[in-house]
Amino acid sequence: MRLLTFLFILCCSALSNAQEISTTKPWTYWWWMGSAVNKADIFAQLKYFQEAGVGGVHIIPIYGVKGYESQAVPFLTPQWMDLMQYTVREGRRLGLGVDMTTGTGWPFGGPNVTPDLGAKTMTVKNNQIDVQPTKQKVKRAAPGGEGLVLDPFHPTAMAQYLSRFDTALNGQKDLPRAMYNDSYEAYGANWTDDFLLEFKKRRGYDLNNHLSQLIDSTGDATSQLVRIDYHQTLAELLRERYAQPWTAWSTKHGFLTRYQAHGSPGNLLDLYDAASIPETESFGTSRFDIPGLRIDPDYSIDQFGTPNSLAMKFASSAAHFSGKKLVSSETGTWLANHFKVSLSQIKPQIDELFTAGINHIFYHGSTYSPEKEAYPGWLFYASTNFGKHSHFAEHFSLLNKYVERCQELLQNSKPDNDVLVYFPIHDLWATPAKSSGNVHLLEVHHVDRWLLDLPFGKLTQQLWKQGFAFDYVSDLQLKRLQLNKNGDLTSGNAFYKSLVIPASTYMPEETLRELKRLAAAGAKIIFENNLPLKVTGYASDNVRQNGFVNALADLGKQKNVRISNNVKKELATMDAFPETISESGLTFIRKKTANGKTLYFICNLSNSFSEGWVKLGRKGHFEKMNPLSSTDEQWSGLSEKGSEIYLTLQPGQSCFLRETDSGSPNQPQTLAAKQFELKGNWKLTFLKGRPNVPKPAEFTALKSWTSLPDSAVYFSGTARYQLRFDCPEELLTSRVKTLDLGDVREVAVVKLNGKFIGTAWSIPFQLNIADKLKAKDNVLEIEVTNLSANYMRLRDTQKPDWKKFEDINIVDITYKKFDASKWEPMPSGLLGPVMILFH
């Protein structure tokens, strides 16, 4: 009896120690190299994530490490499942969530994918169909996960693939929150065994009789219709046989789903819509025009493209339309080369994601590394490193607190978008594809290949720049739209003033019927430039075309349907107005809080605005909050002048504006107009770092410490700058005092007269110093931590033995063999100029 009582108390204690899982905190990808993991090191790294302010981890087993083959644990074996369950239990106790990929590496595939279930590619040769296996293997597979990539269009391949998970999960209690499906990278896959049968059943004719039209690239009208039908069939099969069975299986087992639909030949809106949490991807740098923001010169736009908000909005649009609370993103992939990414480079990319509707950040990423492993530990082949050995690990929590403050507001509010833009994917499908397999792949990297040059892309770029708040809608999603009592379109979860149809050539009959239904109910619809010209579908095209034209003509005559080459003007007549702050170079997302108040997140990713009177699209009084500051800081009222507010937001900064019941009578809080540059004898003391601590130095002009003698050129770590200075009377009596550190490489912790001021880690590197100055003998101390790149220059010259990984091993940002020994030194330390800005 005593034993039972003890066990009961122990169980209750364990439950009481479990902490709530947070989605407002950022999560991280967590690569298990070879799954050569153990419980002690799992706990140590989970503890690091908890203390750093990370909310959860996403387990992705990948290729192994040379010399650790005997410690590798094959995927889904009882030992692997035990380690996974331990991670879930310890994570729960620490307040960390756990997700996992439904597989290893990417895309889906593995040892139970037999050749008949593997991906297939079709080409037309001598007017005959030639089908061959792609023979693609799972990329970056972990032990136990190797094998063929499954056929994403096959009727039973997904069920067979998931059967091994059924076996492994049977009887397991401690399971992850969500299953994950990585971006579609089934290269060349464009066929399945029963494709001809399904095509004829769905499209009404035999594709065998139209193979020449399928591969024709002359622009022939018949060929375009056949190509549309072919892509339509692929898209339907992908949704019905790949996305939906996987999500249904996950739901049955109690998992949420995170789905990266991009890169696939389907309609992204419908695929994202199938998941609990649609997930986009931010790969590379967006090249914002923010003064002082560095861009890795080795990153190749031609090779990888750049992140694009309009592509990100496919995921958030699907979430908004269906009322999904969370929209996630793979964040920070190849933002710069290994050992060169700074916190100040990460924040603007996250801000871009927030304004695109993303609210559940997943860092890319962190690599499990044994605690005993020497620096730099185990690393994934692609940056960025958010793990324990990262050069910004000591200050990582500052970024995480910023993300948490933002996501707390963004996740607990609803979208407030006026406009719904129809995505006419059939116009894309009508054009010859240039990607592998002769199919259009809707990727997030090179959006110029499918999105930006379409009339849809041109229109949405225009609406984005003009400041309209909008979502996208697919043909299938139109069926779920209704009109509410106010005459607004609603999906049941989101509300819109108007539906815009971009200039397009093709439209399905089903879509036209939905538009007629909505128009008859009073929906406000705008056709850009013209009504669509042709109905999709080759079968009985001539007969259906006549009915299509007549129905379109009737639709165009309705008073609430407009055909216009000035969409902005027409939207204004439908009470959909732009946010003019976009004209100032500011980027935003507008939402509604639980009590119906308007909430803005605004960021300045340009160099065309710092302060001024601005007008918001929603009327009311507003107060401002800086998410970089602690949560204890109160929201502050904004000065008003008629319908305008005075906003200060320097390049690189961000803020929230929240509607309040009363305005502020205060004078505008303008930026400081005067400056006092701090000059004198700077004393530099190196505190900690690699390979060793250089000798102290003194100088009167701030410069990179790499220019100093000794080993400073290779030093990666922290050094303290100290300066003594006196204050002029004008500065002492001023009401606003801001310390501007100028160019900081990379993070600065500041003390003034022995009192901690703050840590500057993002652009602009400024801190409020309030009343901490005195007339004589002020002591300013600035501890600066740089990148690890300079040390790795030396390490790769002397001891490059850390590069010991299987598969791709470790590569640089150009995907060539990694070698830091030839790098030029990265500027490090406090470069200045350091000034006090004041009124």
Tally of CB atoms within 10 A around 236: 17
Angle in degrees, 0-180, between the axes of helices 78-94 and 39-52, rounded to the nearest 10: 30
- DSSP for residue 631: T
The b/e string for 716-732 (b: 16+ C-beta within 10 A; e otherwise) is bbbbbbbbebebeeebe
Mean pLDDT, to the nearest integer, of 726-740? 93
The model's pLDDT over 420-475, given as tens digits with 9 standing for 90+, comes to 999 999 999 999 998 778 999 999 989 998 999 999 999 999 999 999 999 999 99
Angle in degrees, 0-180, between the axes of helices 221-238 and 195-203, rounded to the nearest 10: 110
Scan for tokens 């922290």, then name that residue. Answer: 718
Per the structure block, which two tokens stand in for 794? 């030396």
Scan for tokens 């789905």, then name that residue. Answer: 259
Kindly tell me the burial class for residue 557, based on how many C-beta atoms sit within 10 Å of its own C-beta (0-12, 13-18, 19 or more). Answer: exposed
Mean pLDDT, to the nearest integer, of 126-132? 96
Helix (H, G, I), strand (E, B) or coil at 832: strand
Residue 591, pLDDT score: 98
Nearest to 414 by CA among 326, 301, 338: 326
The b/e string for 351-383 (b: 16+ C-beta within 10 A; e otherwise) is bbbbbbbbbbbbbbbbbbbbeeeeebbbbbbbb
Strand 419-422 versus strand 498-501 pairing type: parallel
CB 410 within 8 A of CB 359: yes
The model's pLDDT over 607-659, given as tens digits with 9 standing for 90+, comes to 999 999 999 999 999 999 999 986 555 788 899 988 899 999 999 999 999 99
Compute the Cα dihedral for 494, 499, 501, 506 and give only its sign: positive
Radius of gyration for the alpha carbons in the chain, expressed in angstroms and rounded:
29
* 3 pLDDT higher than 50: no
What is the spatial distance between Cα 805 and Cα 66, in angstroms, rounded to a whole number? 6
Give me the DSSP letters along 227-243: HHHHHHHHHHHHIIIII
- DSSP for residue 811: B
pTM above 0.95, yes or no: yes
Stated length of the chain: 839
Amino acid (one-letter) located at 186: A
Mean confidence (pLDDT) of the chain: 95
Scan for tokens 């003033």, then name that residue. Answer: 497
CB 187 within 8 A of CB 436: yes
CB 497 within 8 A of CB 574: yes
Scan for tokens 């559940």, then name that residue. Answer: 360
Per the structure block, which two tokens stand in for 489? 């379109």
Per the structure block, which two tokens stand in for 57? 């981890």
What is the spatial distance between Cα 826 and Cα 814, in angstroms, rounded to a whole number? 19
Nearest to 548 by CA among 583, 508, 588: 508
Residue 11, pLDDT score: 43
The b/e string for 784-819 (b: 16+ C-beta within 10 A; e otherwise) is bbbbbbbbbbbbbeeeeebeebbeeebbbbeeeebb
Strand 682-690 versus strand 697-699 pairing type: antiparallel
Percent composition of the chain: helix, strand, coil (DSSP 3-state, to 5): 30, 25, 45
HEC string of 258-324 equals: EECCCCCCCCHHHHHHCCCEEEEEEECCCCCCCCCCCCCCCCCHHHHCCCCHHHHHHHHHHHHHHCC
Mean pLDDT, to the nearest integer, of 13-32? 81
Residue 430, pLDDT score: 97
What values do phi and psi take at 739, rounded to 5? -85, 120
What is the spatial distance between Cα 251 and Cα 643, in angstroms, rounded to a whole number? 48
Per the structure block, which two tokens stand in for 628? 């970089």
The kind and range of the H/E element at 636 are strand 636-637
Side-chain-facing half-sphere of 361: CA atoms under 13 Å:
35
Residue 483, pLDDT score: 97
Mean pLDDT, to the nearest integer, of 329-348? 98
* 13 pLDDT higher than 70: no
Torsion of CA 330, 336, 339, 342, to 10 degrees: -80
What is the spatial distance between Cα 586 and Cα 579, in angstroms, rounded to a whole number? 10
The model's pLDDT over 190-218, given as tens digits with 9 standing for 90+, comes to 999 999 999 999 999 999 999 999 999 88
Looking at the chain, the whole-number percentage of residues with pLDDT higher than 70 is 97
Residue 772, pLDDT score: 83
Side-chain-facing half-sphere of 376: CA atoms under 13 Å:
31
Scan for tokens 């650790």, then name that residue. Answer: 68
Residue 10, pLDDT score: 39
Residue 490, pLDDT score: 98
What is the spatial distance between Cα 223 and Cα 210, in angstroms, rounded to a whole number? 8
The residues with which 659 forms a beta bridge, in sequence order, are 622
* 6 pLDDT higher than 60: no
CB 298 within 8 A of CB 279: no
Helix (H, G, I), strand (E, B) or coil at 570: helix
Per the structure block, which two tokens stand in for 14? 């364990």
What values do phi and psi take at 549, rounded to 5? -65, -40
Residue 219, pLDDT score: 87
Tally of CB atoms within 10 A around 683: 15
Residue 20, pLDDT score: 85
281 CB-near residues (< 8 Å, 6+ apart): 183, 260, 262, 329, 330, 333, 444
Side-chain-facing half-sphere of 481: CA atoms under 13 Å:
34
What is the spatial distance between Cα 594 and Cα 88, in angstroms, rounded to a whole number? 32
* 15 pLDDT higher than 70: no
CB 306 within 8 A of CB 286: yes
What is the spatial distance between Cα 637 and Cα 622, in angstroms, rounded to a whole number? 6
761 CB-near residues (< 8 Å, 6+ apart): 343, 344, 392, 395, 398, 399, 746, 747, 748
CB 628 within 8 A of CB 593: no
Nearest to 194 by CA among 166, 232, 227, 234: 234
Chain centroid, CA 612 distance in Å:
30
Mean pLDDT, to the nearest integer, of 503-518? 98
CB 818 within 8 A of CB 334: no
164-168, 261-265, 662-666: which has the minimum mean pLDDT? 662-666
Q: How confident is the model at residue 19 (pLDDT cuts 50, 70, 90)?
A: confident
Amino acid (one-letter) located at 56: G
Mean pLDDT, to the nearest integer, of 485-508? 97
Residue 435, pLDDT score: 79
Per the structure block, which two tokens stand in for 343? 């916190």
Mean pLDDT, to the nearest integer, of 2-24? 56
Per the structure block, which two tokens stand in for 435? 């990607």
Looking at the chain, the whole-number percentage of residues with pLDDT higher than 90 is 91
The model's pLDDT over 279-321, given as tens digits with 9 standing for 90+, comes to 999 999 999 999 999 999 999 998 899 999 999 999 999 999 9
The model's pLDDT over 533-561, given as tens digits with 9 standing for 90+, comes to 999 999 999 999 999 999 999 999 999 99
